[in-house]
Amino acid sequence: MYNFCTLFDSNYLSRGLAMYQSLSRHCKDFHLYVFTFDNKTFEVLRKFNLLNTTIISLDQFEDKELLKVKKERSRVEYLWTCSSSIILYVLKNYKVNSCTYLDADIYFFESPKVLIDEAKENSVIITKHRFSPRYERNDRFGIYCVQFVFFRNNKQSIKVLKWWRNACIDWCYIKKKSGKFGDQKYLDDWPERFKGIHVLQHLGGGLASWNVQQYDFYIRDTQLFGREKKTKKEFKVIFYHFHGLKFLNDNKLDLGEFEISKDVINIFYKPYLGYLEKIKSNILSIDSSFDPNGTVRIKKSLKTILKFIKRRINGVKSNYNIYNMSSFGE
């Protein structure tokens, strides 16, 4: 049995369901613990009656230490603060041998079994960002990405988790300060600080917008894509991380701050976006009072203009990676 946990609110509900369904498609023996960060998400997921899933509300999960810092952090900062705590909660409250944290905006194309098996006798798996050479200066966000983090239920793992949780409760913000950034930079020295840490070697675990430029790969998810997609090398994609993808007002999409080629858009983003739209329709048939894609209203402010200039400096040329939704149709 492979045990996973994730956390999200109603703004990421369609992504969270897409991740769950991709996991269901490729992992035969699993259980997913979903921590819902608003009542809307909790109620909608309960109505879906998802198999192999435990839905956990904030009332069940939050403790005094988390509630003490909640008011002083933004929505995203609080989600980051809780990432270590939800893993610890699963290991302590459910009789599981291990638990792997998953970001809600990843999508599986193969079973994650091959990634977890890499750990062998190690207690923890962490994954590198593996920035493409042009983006290596972005290591200010950390060497490792909190997207897929495995913990075995043993003393070594609990020691790491308690240290990480205490650090995040003490400081977890969307800014760089004294060698810290959110919940991620804390992982930088884990291979030296702790025993039993394994750095994932499989390149198919963690393909994303910041590293996809440097790889050849192939995927076999014919259910989603209709046919096999191949490039030069047989590089098997286990999961793609759709970090940075935002739905904007005026029927537009933002693919993030890194340059995405047309091939990558066609192979990954177009099918995924079509899938999210189908999931959105299913959600709205249950509750039409909110937007499960979390559409963001963008104003043309000085801050926005400066953000776009920064993207230009980082090498993004395709209209700042903002597209009309109509261009992603069938």
11-38, pLDDT tens digit by residue? 999 999 999 999 999 998 999 999 999 9
Q: Which of 185, 147, 181, 132 is nearest to 316 (CA)?
A: 132
Three-class SS of residue 206? Answer: strand
Whole-number pLDDT of residue 252 = 87
Window from 67-71, 198-202, 246-250 with minimum mean pLDDT: 246-250
Size of the chain, expressed as the number of residues it contains: 330
Element (H, E) at 252: strand 252-254
Which amino acid is residue 277, in one-letter code? E
Checking if the pLDDT of 215 tops 50, the result is yes
DSSP conformation class of 52: T
Beta bridge partner(s), residue 197: 124
Query: What is the share, in percent, of the chain residues with pLDDT greater than 90?
Result: 71
- Written as one letter, the residue type at 310 is K
> Given a cut of 80, is residue 218 above it in pLDDT?
no
CATH number of the domain that 28 lies in?
Answer: 3.90.550.10
Instruction: Name 152's bridge partners.
Output: 98
Is residue 219 predicted with pLDDT exceeding 80?
no
Q: How is residue 312 written in tokens?
A: 């230009």
Dihedral sign (CA 114, 33, 99, 77):
positive
- pLDDT tens for 242-293 read 999 999 988 889 998 888 888 889 889 999 999 999 999 999 999 999 999 9
CA distance 139 to 188: 10
**Mean per-residue pLDDT for 195-220?**
87
pLDDT value at residue 223: 46
Query: Given a cut of 90, is residue 42 above it in pLDDT?
Result: yes
Count of H helices and E strands in the chain?
A: 12, 17
Q: The domain containing residue 241 runs over which residues?
A: 2-328
Average pLDDT of the chain to the nearest whole number: 88
CB 41 within 8 A of CB 9: yes
The fraction of the chain above a pLDDT of 70, given in percent, is 86
Encoded tokens for 76: 């995203």
Q: Residues 171-195: pLDDT tens digits? A: 999 988 888 999 999 999 999 999 9
- The whole-angstrom separation of Cα 46 and Cα 49 is 6
- Which tokens in the block code for residue 110? 């193969």
DSSP state, residue 143: S
**Average pLDDT over every residue of 96-105:** 98
pLDDT at 222: 44
Number of domains forming the structure of the chain: 1
Quickly state the pLDDT bin for 234 (edges 50, 70, 90). Answer: low
